[in-house]
Structure 1
Amino acid sequence: MYKSNEIDIRPRKGASQAAFKKDNYWMNQTQVETSPWYEWDTKVFNYHDKPTQVLSGYESFNKDLRDYLQTSTLHGLRYIGERKLTWFERFEIDRIMYKSNEIDIRPRKGASQAAFKKDKPTQVLSGYESFNKDLRDYLQTSTLHGLRYIGERKLTWFERFFWLAAFCCSVICAAFFILNVYHKWRSSPMIVSINPENMHLQDLPFPAITVCNVNQAKKSVAERNSLDKKLLNSLCGTQRDADIFEDDIAESANWDYTRSFLINVTQPCNEMLAMCLWDSRSMNCQDLFNAQLTDEGLCCTFNVVHRDNMFRNPRDLNDLNLTFPSPSVDWTPEGGYPADAPPDGFPWKPKGIGTNHGLTLVLDANIAEYYCASTKSMGFKILLHNPTETPNIAKIGEIYGPGIEARVAIQPRILDAQPSLKDIDVKKRLCLFSSEKELVFYRTYTLRNCEMECEARSMLDRCKCVLYYMPNSEASCDECLPACNEIAFFERLSTAPLNKALIGQYSTILLNRTPDYFT
């Protein structure tokens, strides 16, 4: 199948078969055998057995490799196995890499090699002609689509120009898309992708849960004296003639008084929380929930870190009963739980998956005491949030009406940044590590905590005061960016009305309320 460069040994014309066998060439006399060949009858001799030369393993492999290189269709390999080329020419194969269309001049059969070398013409090309020839050979042998048609002499100039224009357009389009990708990488060198590694439940905390009654004041408490009523109407936005009471309110109402007033007039946690189950175990709601001042008023919060771990200079609020059933640990979204944290340290970790391992609450809206609601409905606002953040429940809290059963599926979203991102400029990565920016009174940097300080700063500049639920008298911040390491919780809510026929079976849990109470 392959053309061999080996010498074919055969008897001379007129020589006998015996003389041929006697004078035949033997490369290795000890390794010679005969094998059946083919019959070749001529007028001169007739033989049936031809001597076979047995090669060593290395020689056989070298011969097969050389035959493969000379017959290979891969461009350039046949020159590597060409014996007529010097070793330097084989390594400089790029000079003869392209197949030429020139006529291959070789000696006629029977002509001597010396006469051929003497009479062989040598074509000397100029620099331009040599470049033109090399360019034409490159175009005809290039694998880039369309280039071989540009160098095809059989095509008209119009056809060749069309292929040249098409190739240039392809290059321009490719360069355009490459530049867009490059500029996108320069402006935002970060890649946000889903982490293929699973995270164990014990590596993240159970979300903090804040529950607020949309009724910001109990009617029986708000109507005790005129000053409280005037202040409450002003805070609720229902005061029609504010100028009449402005002097009285200014004399008696300051931030401390306002905070104390909100604590006293709002529904307390022991009245709001009728029953609490954690991991299917009945627990005292007063041990699980703490009162917290938010933008919705006084609310009840579960699984939030201690104030010492949340604020830099926390103020002791003696009028708030703060209790923690377990020691609070310094958990942060970036650092996680400390290595020496106890297994039951606050914030608590989820015990498992499903409603049996979560938190179950029975809430009492106390509709008869509604006086000043933040919405036009009745019920509660509930928010799942980071345990190190002050909840923004007034804006993004979910409303739950009375007389329903609600189930909330928690979906955590964890943003985890590699430490190598610190080498990228903040303006390009658009996020901050905790060590890169310290807030005034929050210990942990998050986007929500930074926005809280910005709101306080804006109010301080305009009104010379800050929000009543802020832990300091002043605040300042620059530009707020998301934290590079954050954790957020999203809920998937499903609700259904309570079955009035079964309310009697749970009278103890529902505080002996009648079915009409839940309509």
Structure 2
Amino acid sequence: MEAINTDIICALSNENESLAFHNESGSAPLRKNRFRRNLKEYFREYCEVSTIQGLSYLTKDISLLEWLWWIGVLLLCIVGCTVMIYQVFEKWITTPVLVSLATKETHIYNVPFPAVTICPETKVASRCLNYTKVLSQMKQNKPISLTESQTFDYMMPLCQLSNHESKLREQEEETSRDVFQGSDSLDDYAVFLSRCKAVDLRRHAYCQWMGNDVDCQEILTPILTDEGMCYSFNMIDVRDIYTDINQMRYYREGRRNPDWSPGRGFNQEKIEDNFPRRAFLNGAKNSLIIALLTNKTDIYYSCREFALQGMRVSLHMPAKIPRPSQVFFSVGLNRLTTVSVTPSYMTTTSAIRTYNPHRRNCYFEQERKLKFFKLYNQGNCDFECWSNYTVEKCGCAQFYMPRDNQTKICSMAKRKCFERVKASYTHKIFGERLRDVKGPSDCDCLPLCTELDYKSEIATGQWRFDDPDDVAVDGYEDYYAGFYASAVKIYFKSPYFLSTEKSELYGATDFISNIGGVLGLFTGFSLFSLAEIIYFLSLRLFENYRRYGNWAGPRTE
């Protein structure tokens, strides 16, 4: 009997050990299956109550074909939604700024009258140099005087290179003294251009402003440009444009402390006697008229190819240094040119000030600093970039370029270097931009966020200023018979104009609205749907565990 009981006890013990072994070895798969089952039930519960469209169909008792249909629809909606959200995001990143017409017209009184830079095509009077005669003598290897030689050298930066080839060879061989040597060479050159100018404002010019005769010397300021000695009207004094680091002893001081800047506009507390000047009314009777006389003995065509005598005129913003060799229109001899002007004014909303300058594609006035200019604009930045590039390649600057005390004026021997640099500069700059590479030559000259320009309509006709029927020249016919006249009349076309405005294309509100609209269109997703997802991933899990000891809810076994 005892033997039987012992066998039964041993058998039960072995059976318990076997069951324990099987339970231990199968606990991991059981836990894994239980997690999958809980996750499936939890997801089913979410799909049944979710406000996202289509999820409830996945939990219903439907056929396999129906289930595949709704899975396909859901996937297509997700793909379409993703593609459209990507396009909205890409547009927000690449083109965040919208340029549109302003909703209200602007009066011309709110912008300055354009700065007008006038450059006589005749650079020196015949009393200083008969350019054609000296050029002819040099080509025939005939002797010329020392004074003629030095004066002819002064004309080299303004005339075509081929006229001065022999002089350049002499400079390369160091057989003659360069007129641009020495620390005072630029001042001497400015004095030469002023002393030998073909147009004397005291005797050979007539000016009228807003219907009133004015002294040309009072409203026109001499300025050195890439066209030599020119005259500017309504331009901010160069000392308020250039920094102190730039050499400017040769500039005559004009009117200082302007009442206007591109960023802030005019001082609203000061209505009268503003500078830069502004026009109260439009039309030809409220215009600027400038007429210049050129002595017939001073006319020569050998300095340049395709030379048009008279004067060239450049309209520009008062805070911009003009480049009349680049942008201009010509007024021929005995011609009257009428120019009707319409301002082109770009403003920028403060909403995009926080954007990166390259995203909004512009700089605010004090956002970008230049070495040689106090006032930033795209033209001044390009000019400084061009000057720096010239100094880097040739070791000198042209006479009209901004420079510091350590930079020399380019000598005659550097003329060929300058011509090569001028040709390579454009190719290098545009090559870097086409390759979308920020190279050393790209000076990042973005436009101003508040930019002012002037669009012009030009008409020209013959002007017989010395006609005997003209009472103004009565008694002076013989005197005026020795001159050609060139005149320009400039006025605002209309009293109002439509400006343009840079604003946000997609602000934060617009971006969220567009994303929400796409999500709602494809899936019915809303902020309430987002709250549901957060609830099921956080609060619901915590409450289930607190109540039932299981994150998925009540145990089913």
In the superposition, the TM-score normalised over structure 2's length comes to 0.58
Task: Give the equivalent residue in structure 2 for 1:184.
Answer: 91
Provide the rounded CA distance (Å) in 2 between the counterparts of 1:185 and 1:127: 35
**CA drift at 1:467:** 2.6
Asked whether the equivalents of residues 247 and 402 of structure 2 are also in contact (C-alpha less than 8 Å), the reply is: no
**CA drift at 1:363:** 2.2
- Secondary structure at the residue paired with 1:454? helix
- Secondary structure at the residue paired with 2:318? coil
> What are the within-5 Å matches in structure 2 for residues 96-111 of structure 1?
none
Task: Give the equivalent residue in structure 2 for 1:417.
Answer: 348
Gaps of 5+ in 2: 1-47, 131-144, 408-440, 487-557
- The alignment status of 1:437 with 2:362, answered yes or no, reads no
1:217 aligned to which of 124, 131, 135: 124
Provide the rounded CA distance (Å) in 1 between the counterparts of 2:475 and 2:245: 37
Tell me the alpha carbon deviations over residues 273-302 of structure 1, each in whole angstroms, 9 at most, x when there is no partner. 521111111111111111111111100100
Tell me the alpha carbon deviations over residues 414-468 of structure 1, each in whole angstroms, 9 at most, x when there is no partner. 1111222221112212211122211112111100111111111111112222232
1:376 aligned to which of 307, 310, 313: 307
Provide the rounded CA distance (Å) in 1 between the counterparts of 2:376 and 2:475: 41
2:102 aligned to which of 186, 191, 195: 195
Asked whether the equivalents of residues 235 and 276 of structure 2 are also in contact (C-alpha less than 8 Å), the reply is: yes
1:488 aligned to which of 453, 460, 467: 453
Q: State the identity %.
A: 21
Provide the rounded CA distance (Å) in 1 between the counterparts of 2:123 and 2:80: 63
Which structure features the higher share of helix residues?
Answer: 2
Task: Give the equivalent residue in structure 2 for 1:498.
Answer: 463
Provide the rounded CA distance (Å) in 2 between the counterparts of 1:251 and 1:363: 30
Report the number of matched residues. Answer: 373
RCO (CA 8 Å, sep 6+): is it higher in 1 or 2?
A: 2
Task: Give the equivalent residue in structure 2 for 1:248.
Answer: 176
1:337 aligned to which of 266, 269, 279: 266
**CA drift at 1:264:** 2.6
**CA drift at 1:471:** 4.6
Provide the rounded CA distance (Å) in 2 between the counterparts of 1:510 and 1:213: 27
CA, structure 1 residues 94+420, in 2 after alignment: closer, same or farther (shift >3 Å)?
Answer: closer
Q: Kindly name which structure, 1 or 2, has the bigger radius of gyration based on alpha carbons.
A: 1
- Secondary structure at the residue paired with 1:239? helix
Provide the rounded CA distance (Å) in 2 between the counterparts of 1:363 and 1:509: 18
- Secondary structure at the residue paired with 1:435? coil
Task: Give the equivalent residue in structure 2 for 1:466.
Answer: 397
Provide the rounded CA distance (Å) in 1 between the counterparts of 2:87 and 2:259: 44
- Secondary structure at the residue paired with 1:484? coil
**CA drift at 1:344:** 0.9
Tell me the alpha carbon deviations over residues 156-183 of structure 1, each in whole angstroms, 9 at most, x when there is no partner. xxxxx9xx8xx96x99789756644542
Task: Give the equivalent residue in structure 1 for 2:533.
Answer: none
Task: Give the equivalent residue in structure 1 for 2:489.
Answer: none
2:293 aligned to which of 364, 379, 382: 364
Task: Give the equivalent residue in structure 1 for 2:189.
Answer: 258
- Secondary structure at the residue paired with 1:409? strand
Tell me the alpha carbon deviations over residues 474-494 of structure 1, each in whole angstroms, 9 at most, x when there is no partner. 799942111111111121101
Task: Give the equivalent residue in structure 2 for 1:110.
Answer: none
**CA drift at 1:303:** 0.4
Provide the rounded CA distance (Å) in 2 between the counterparts of 1:127 and 1:320: 83
- The alignment status of 1:457 with 2:385, answered yes or no, reads no
**CA drift at 1:314:** 7.5
Task: Give the equivalent residue in structure 1 for 2:219.
Answer: 288
What is the RMSD computed on CA atoms of the aligned residues?
4.0
- Secondary structure at the residue paired with 2:261? coil
Tell me the alpha carbon deviations over residues 236-287 of structure 1, each in whole angstroms, 9 at most, x when there is no partner. 2211312235543426643333333333333345168521111111111111
Q: Which moved more, 1:449-458 or 1:236-245?
A: 236-245
